């Protein structure tokens, strides 16, 4: 998904940007996943949908966007952690009021910037509704880095697995050091 274009047809207008950071959650064996151990509830049911099913959930009052990535009933998903805004920047800035990289450099921040503050799109297939990921319109990262996922430190053995992927040097990646940011090409070819 890195480099693909995520867009949302918000009530204020089209907003979106390039996906620069994502985390994989590997389903029932993954101690950090919402479906760990086969857990299946009304809340995480979208994860059990067909590939491309939208799964929006909230943590600490913030909404996050996950997309089911495997066959129906195989609850693996990709959390979209950050985007580099390219469409509707002024709308996103109005929604979040944090300019620069801080606008969309985290999963809750990007949802706030997009203007998504509920779970109404759960169960939709990405691309069929207002949320789209254009797999054919992609920028190629110069380098992709992998690390442990963020915010799951206390979730057992899987917490340290390198399942977070990001565009090296992109300033919109969450928790990137300023010295690692490449403002000349943002990490793209």
Domains of the chain as residue ranges with CATH: 4-180 (3.10.300.10)
| DSSP single-letter state for residue 83 | E
Region of poorest pLDDT, from 46-55, 117-126, 144-153: 144-153
Which percentage of the chain shows pLDDT scores above 70? 100
As given in the structure block, the two tokens for residue 83 are 């985007």
* Cα–Cα distance, 168 to 146 (Å, whole number): 9
Mean pLDDT throughout 130-148? 96
| DSSP single-letter state for residue 184 | T
138 by Cβ neighbours in 10 Å (0-12 / 13-18 / 19+) ranks as: middle
pLDDT for 1: 95
Which percentage of the chain shows pLDDT scores above 90? 93
Confidence of residue 155 (pLDDT cuts 50, 70, 90): confident
pLDDT for 5: 98
Spatial CA neighbour of 54 closest among 70, 68, 41, 64: 68
pLDDT for 157: 85
Query: pLDDT of 122-137, one tens digit each?
Result: 999 999 999 999 999 9
Mean pLDDT of the chain: 96
Contacts of 128 (CB under 8 A, 6+ apart): none
Confidence of residue 154 (pLDDT cuts 50, 70, 90): confident
With 90 as the cut, is the pLDDT of residue 59 above it? yes
């Amino acid at each position: 998904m890195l480099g693909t274009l995520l867009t949302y047809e918000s009530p204020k207008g089209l907003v979106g940007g390039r996906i620069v950071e994502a985390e994989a959650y590997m389903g029932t064996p993954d101690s950090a996943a919402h479906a760990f151990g086969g857990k299946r509830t009304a809340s995480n049911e979208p994860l059990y949908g067909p590939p491309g099913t939208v799964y929006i959930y909230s943590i600490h009052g913030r909404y996050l966007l996950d997309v089911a990535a495997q066959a129906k009933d195989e609850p693996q998903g990709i959390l979209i952690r950050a985007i580099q805004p390219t469409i509707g920047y002024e709308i996103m800035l109005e929604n979040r009021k944090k300019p620069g990289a801080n606008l969309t450099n985290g999963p809750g921040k990007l949802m706030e910037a997009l203007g998504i503050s509920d779970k109404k799109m759960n169960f939709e297939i990405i691309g069929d509704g207002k949320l789209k990921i254009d797999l054919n319109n992609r920028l190629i990262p110069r380098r992709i880095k992998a690390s442990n996922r963020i915010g799951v430190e206390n979730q057992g053995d899987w917490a340290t697995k390198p399942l977070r992927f990001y565009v090296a040097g992109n300033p919109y990646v969450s928790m990137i050091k300023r010295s690692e940011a490449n403002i000349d090409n943002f990490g793209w070819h």
